[in-house]
Amino acid sequence: MPGEVSLAHRGVLFLDELTEFTRDSIEVMREPLEEGKLVITRVGGSCCYPADFMLVAAMNPCRCGYYPDRTRCNCSELQIQRYIGKISRPLMDRIDITVGVAAVPVEKLQSKYQRSDTSSTIRERVMRAHEIQEARFRNEDITHNSQIPDRDMEKHCHLNSECLDFMRRAYNRYHLTARSYNKILRVARSIADLGGSDKIELIHLQEAIGYKSLDSYYAGGIRL
């Protein structure tokens, strides 16, 4: 029978408390996140299930949930490493955006509510970005930036010398893989589209790097 990744085909798969799943259950998502399908091979043959979904996941920074607030978190660094380490680097590489969410201070909860952009305003911005991408890929077999093949990165995610130098330093500093490097470029391309920019600028790359903050754990240290 199809599992959750196939039932979420062309939709969203939300996994709460990601680190509470078994490692085998988490790691099985590597293939569908990369290929958009899941192949199961048994003695009687193989079955290919569609599994092109958007993964949204949430997890605590440690078992007690209070790290990095050391006034409340008593977890050792080894315990934190083991807890977060259930999410492997290869799986992390296949996730476009990984960000930490800080606790909300009581002063902000008690302050007057400040209205931000409405959902309709954000939707208009997203729809404009979709139109830009539709025009960009009109004569190609893809429809969105996330689908840009590695061989076409230079064509659709061209960087000037300043941006190339920035990404070279980021690659070495954060120990990026080739896969995560290209994912950052695709995210930066989308950020540029949302801002109505024809080119990827340094500010877009800086923002895209910021959306991979959880990856810093794998670069050495627990900086969530």
**What does the pLDDT look like over 42-53, one tens digit per residue?**
888 899 999 999
What pLDDT does 117 receive?
82
Q: pLDDT averaged over the chain?
A: 89
Distance between CA atoms of 82 and 217, rounded to whole angstroms? 12
Predicted structure pTM score? 0.85
Question: Taking 50 as the threshold, does the pLDDT of residue 176 lie above it?
Answer: yes
Question: Taking 70 as the threshold, does the pLDDT of residue 113 lie above it?
Answer: no
Query: What's the token pair of residue 221?
Result: 């240290």
CA dihedral 145, 150, 151, 157 (to 10 degrees): 50
Share of the chain above pLDDT 90, in %: 59
- 137's CB contacts (< 8 A; 6+ apart) are 143, 144
What pLDDT does 84 receive?
85
Domains by residue range for the chain, with CATH:
4-94 (3.40.50.300), 119-216 (no CATH)
Residue-wise pLDDT tens digits, 11-27: 999 999 999 999 888 99
Closest CA to 218 of 22, 23, 84, 96: 84
Distance between CA atoms of 145 and 188, rounded to whole angstroms? 10
Place 216 in a pLDDT band, splitting at 50, 70 and 90: low
Residue-wise pLDDT tens digits, 129-152: 999 999 999 999 999 999 999 999
What pLDDT does 129 receive?
96
Average pLDDT over residues 148-166: 96
